[in-house]
Amino acid sequence: MLDKEFVKKLRPGTKVKVWERIKEGDKERKSFFVGIIIARKHGTEPGATFTVRSIIQEVGVEKVYPLWSPLITKVDIMGTPKRVRRSKLYFIRDLSGKKIHEKLGLSI
């Protein structure tokens, strides 16, 4: 579960590792998804979401997470950009991984 102070740090351009609980049948396991936050929607209200994008096996994958979901166990911030001039980073869908890191100033 996330707290309000930590939620303020989740901004577009931030590289994160999202840990989530996955239930398969009667078993439960934890899995993580590493990517860049490209959008935050609806502020901090109960229906707020954030979208994380990653490139897996040369295919772009996006996941939309509810901000207050009990299935999210932990979010680790792996890097923050120098400066982001947009609130929605949808333009990175058309860029390669190297160009994304150059534009946002993240370490690879």
pTM of the model: 0.88
Q: Set out the domains of the chain in order of their start, with CATH numbers.
A: 4-104 (2.30.30.790)
Can you give the chain as a three-state secondary structure string?
CCCHHHHCCCCCCCEEEEEEEEEECCEEEEEEEEEEEEEEECCCCCCCEEEEEEEECCEEEEEEEECCCCCEEEEEEEECCCCCCCCCCHHHHHCCHHHHHHHHCCCC
pLDDT tens string for the chain (108 positions)?
678 888 888 999 999 999 999 999 999 999 999 999 999 999 889 999 999 999 999 899 999 999 999 999 999 999 988 888 889 999 999 988 888 888 887 765
